Amino acid sequence: MYAYEALPVAEWFRRNRELAGFHNPTRALYQTIRELTENSLDATETYGILPTILLRVNVEDEQKGWVSVYAEDNGIGIPGNEIPNVFGRVFYSSKYRIKQHRGVFGLGLKMVVLYAQSTTNKPVLVRSATLKSDKIFEYQIMIDTNSNSPIILDRREYPNKYRWHGTAVKVYLEGNWLASKKRIEDYLRRTAIIAPYAEIIFKGPDLELWLKRRTTKLPPAPKEGLPHPRSVDVDTLKQMIQESRGLTLQEFLMENFDAVGEGTAKAFLEWAGFNPNMKVRALTPEELVRLVEKMKQYEGWRRPRSDWLSPAGAELLEIGAKAILGAEAVFAVTRKPESYGGHPFIVEAAVAWGGQIPPGDRPVLLRYANKIPLLYDEGADVARKVVDEFNWQNYKVKFPAPLAVIIHVCSTKIPYASAGKEAIAEVPEIEKEMRLALRDAAKKLRLYLSRKEKEMEMLNRYITLAKYIDEVAYNLALVTRIDKESIARNLHKLIEKKIGLTVDELVKHTLSMSSAQQEMAEAAPQ
């Protein structure tokens, strides 16, 4: 006989923690930093606050492999009465909305707490105050995995004398600092590229990073939106209908969906063969299925709006990549909004060249989804495929070349290739946009490299001609009895006029080229 039982959701996640990125002490430490940082960024930039994030990792017990992680932000904070659920109930979130956030599942913090308590049996310590709150709340929380609810071990309130706002979290967990150090550093640096308006201070046992704020410009905050008719399934529609008052089908479509006005609703219902005036609650289950099918097929919908999205913007990408990669030049583009399956998305791409980027046989790829750096599973990501298939020769790039490519997809629904949220799946619309974004950015790079190449050529010509100036000036001086220095000066001027740039300008431009680039420019066909 089988023994049947239901596994409570929190217990299920505790047992299957690798699905959320908590495979082992190395991944778990990296994932903990990632979840806490992403929550802090969501709690600040989405509300117009310039993020300041402090992160600390301490080795607590070397023998047992225990570490502590502390994260503090200056965000909007969490209301005192919500703190227990936010940290102690799986699938509790403020982000189940149609709007671009880093967080989506309502799971991240709980996985941190579950992993921490199952490895060290210690609670999470939380301190938080909301904007203008006169109190600071402090909690010690664990999760009762059987009932998926918080166990409050301690709760305190303090007067908020200095009107501090934000959230501070401390957890103790089994973590392998040495093995995860490199990933954590990469993750934070890559975060600083896409969010150069954030100040991130990290202190680990043997690593200190101070990623300074490079700009005070924040990208416009995303608005909250409605679903696009093409993006809903039968269950979602059923639920929406249950929540609707006695609306007609036409009213229901207009009120609950993005980009559906009176004209569009009428035209669609006529095309789909539904009576616009029937009460939406009177739809039979068969009609409901047919309605969803028709909503997916209809060609007349307007595109989903992109107001729910918050791309970084070409300017911020350029600032971030220059500062963090130490690139000599960065060219970024933000494409126009597109959609797949009713979900709006925007692709951004940047190519970074030279400077401190080491020459490689293929471009270094930095992938992002909703401003989250993706570090694992690069091979499974459609962005890698696009970058590898790209014809770089057409853009004057010959490998080895000091080239890095940044690809950012933002969407209200990122099509991840797996539950680990580390790679973007091959959605044809997204793939096409990636290709176009890369082409647009690479065109700017080509222009830049052509200019550099030309300047190199000029400098070489100048050097060749300048070799003769002394001798020619000497002989002319003998014949004309004009001062040799003045002849030489005039000859210099003549050459400068001929090549169209002063020597100072030429040298300045060409010196800014990295040696690898010079080699490339020299090797390039004339």
Instruction: Tell whether residue 105 is among the known ligand binding residues.
Output: yes
Short-list 227, 280, 272, 285, CA closest to 249: 280
Number of residues that bind ligand ATP (CB under 6 A): 22
Residue nearest to ligand ATP (CB): 103
Q: Is 149 in the site for ligand ATP (CB under 6 A)?
A: no
Q: Residues 110, 228, 343, 444: which binds ligand ATP (CB under 6 A)?
A: 110
Report the nearest approach of ligand ATP to the CB of residue 95 (Å).
4
**Could you give the 3-state DSSP secondary structure of residue 349?**
strand
Q: Is 372 in the site for ligand ATP (CB under 6 A)?
A: no
Helices (H) and strands (E) counted in the chain, each on its own, are 15, 14
Instruction: Tell whether residue 257 is among the known ligand binding residues.
Output: no
Instruction: Tell whether residue 135 is among the known ligand binding residues.
Output: no
Q: Residues 29, 33, 104, 195: which binds ligand ATP (CB under 6 A)?
A: 104
Q: Is 320 in the site for ligand ATP (CB under 6 A)?
A: no
Strands 364-369 and 403-411: parallel
Q: Is 107 in the site for ligand ATP (CB under 6 A)?
A: yes
Instruction: Tell whether residue 320 is among the known ligand binding residues.
Output: no
**Residue 481, number of CB atoms within 10 A of its CB:** 7
**d(C-alpha 415, C-alpha 14), whole Å:** 25
**Stretch of residues binding ligand ATP (CB under 6 A), selected from 99-107, 134-142, 149-157, 506-514:** 99-107
Short-list 26, 291, 337, 331, CA closest to 184: 26
Instruction: Tell whether residue 39 is among the known ligand binding residues.
Output: yes
- DSSP E strands in 164-206: the ranges are 166-174, 199-204
Instruction: Tell whether residue 459 is among the known ligand binding residues.
Output: no
**Stretch of residues binding ligand ATP (CB under 6 A), selected from 90-98, 223-231, 241-249, 324-332:** 90-98
Q: Give the burial string for 428-462 (b: 16+ CB within 10 Å, else e).
A: eebbebbbbbbebbbebbbebbeebbebbebbeeb
User: Which lies closer to ligand ATP via its Cβ, residue 321 or residue 369?
Assistant: 369
**d(C-alpha 159, C-alpha 161), whole Å:** 6
User: Which lies closer to ligand ATP via its Cβ, residue 46 or residue 120?
Assistant: 46
User: Which lies closer to ligand ATP via its Cβ, residue 124 or residue 520?
Assistant: 124
Report the nearest approach of ligand ATP to the CB of residue 370 (Å).
10
**Stretch of residues binding ligand ATP (CB under 6 A), selected from 73-81, 385-393, 453-461, 516-524:** 73-81
* Burial class of residue 467, CB neighbours in 10 A (0-12, 13-18, 19+): exposed
Q: Is 334 in the site for ligand ATP (CB under 6 A)?
A: no
Q: What is the DSSP string of 38-100?
A: HHHHHHHHTTTPPPEEEEEEEEEETTTTEEEEEEEE-S----GGGHHHHHHSTT--S--SBS-
**d(C-alpha 328, C-alpha 445), whole Å:** 11
Instruction: Tell whether residue 263 is among the known ligand binding residues.
Output: no
**Stretch of residues binding ligand ATP (CB under 6 A), selected from 26-34, 72-80, 343-351, 385-393:** 72-80
Instruction: Tell whether residue 85 is among the known ligand binding residues.
Output: no
- CA dihedral sign, ordered 385, 386, 387, 390: positive
Residues 18-57 touching ligand ATP, rule: CB under 6 A, are 35, 39-40, 43
Instruction: Tell whether residue 503 is among the known ligand binding residues.
Output: no
**Stretch of residues binding ligand ATP (CB under 6 A), selected from 22-30, 59-67, 69-77, 405-413:** 69-77
Instruction: Tell whether residue 175 is among the known ligand binding residues.
Output: no
Q: Residues 26, 94, 118, 176: which binds ligand ATP (CB under 6 A)?
A: 94
How many angstroms separate the Cα of 455 from the Cα of each of 449, 461, 509?
10, 10, 7
User: Which lies closer to ligand ATP via its Cβ, residue 149 or residue 490?
Assistant: 149
Q: For the sheet with 199-204, list strands across it.
A: 149-159, 135-144, 124-129, 166-174, 66-73, 52-61, 199-204, 207-211
**Stretch of residues binding ligand ATP (CB under 6 A), selected from 4-12, 91-99, 349-357, 504-512:** 91-99
**d(C-alpha 259, C-alpha 526), whole Å:** 53
Instruction: Tell whether residue 326 is among the known ligand binding residues.
Output: no
User: Which lies closer to ligand ATP via its Cβ, residue 128 or residue 514?
Assistant: 128
Q: Is 370 in the site for ligand ATP (CB under 6 A)?
A: no
Instruction: Tell whether residue 515 is among the known ligand binding residues.
Output: no
Q: Is 360 in the site for ligand ATP (CB under 6 A)?
A: no
How many angstroms separate the Cα of 489 from the Cα of each of 119, 382, 461, 477?
78, 58, 17, 12
**Stretch of residues binding ligand ATP (CB under 6 A), selected from 47-55, 100-108, 474-482, 513-521:** 100-108
> Could you report how far apart the first and last alpha carbons of the chain are, in Å?
80
Q: What does the binding site for ligand ATP look like in residue numbers (CB under 6 A)?
A: 35, 39-40, 43, 73, 75-78, 86, 93-95, 103-110, 167
Binding residues are 39, 73, 94-95, 103-110, 421
